[in-house]
Amino acid sequence: MRIMLVEDEYLLNKAIKIYLSSKNMEVDTYLDGLEALDAINAGYDIFILDIDIPHINGIEILEEIYRLYPTLPVIMISATIDISMITKAYEKGCSDYLKKPFDIKELELKIHALTRSNEELIEFSSKLFYNKAKHELNSDGKVLTLTNKESKFLNLLILNRGKIVSYSDIESAVWGFDTRSVHIRQLVNRLRSKLPKELIQNRVGEGYIIL
């Protein structure tokens, strides 16, 4: 399990990382909201965000996460007692909230509760599976390893299954900056060569979708 932790209190940041790492979780830590925002497309399973952090606050990061990955869990942590701020966090899509100070064991329990349904093995058909953790496709018994960009693109489509993912969201999630449409087409063609062609469908002028 890969976790993004954004907490500007250094000692708390370090304590959470040490504890969760001891539980076999991979934790990337950030002290600054701007750095965290630049890294949200790195393939995280869950996000832990402090509300009051430098440069860009946790609510703004939450909004961008929810825009790109509406099904991924986000835990907000804060010392605030301002109920309007807590309400805003839930309105923007946070999954749970912890008020400081808290027991890190409680945070661990919430992480497990929120990620229990986040399956690593995705079944497209009886002969086609995708292992999110290993970035591997198993097609009729043959294992195909996806590149980093292919994995990011496929994960984005899976997380938004049944919804059209716009070209701009694909650019942001895969490249992290504006790119030419030809790069998206090339990526789609490479991934389609490893999947049934009809699995990834194009909606002209809008984006791509997995049904």
What is the number of H-type helices and E-type strands within the chain?
A: 8, 12
- CATH superfamily, domain at 2-115: Response regulator (3.40.50.2300)
Cα–Cα dist 94/83, whole Å: 14
121-210 CATH: 1.10.10.10
pTM across the whole model: 0.65
**Phi, psi angles (nearest 5°) of residue 76:** -95, 140
Write down the domain spans for the chain: 2-115, 121-210
pLDDT digits (tens), the chain, 211 positions: 899 999 999 999 999 999 999 999 999 999 999 999 989 988 888 999 999 999 999 999 999 998 888 878 999 999 988 888 889 999 999 999 999 999 999 999 999 888 875 557 788 887 888 887 778 898 888 888 899 889 889 988 988 888 899 988 888 888 876 566 778 889 999 999 999 878 999 998 889 999 8
Strands, E assignment, 56-150: 74-78, 96-99, 121-125, 128-131, 136-139, 142-145
Q: What would the two tokens of residue 84 be? A: 């309007």
Q: Does 2-115 match 121-210 in CATH topology?
A: no
CB 122, CB 158: distance < 8 Å:
yes
d(CA 171, CA 153): 9
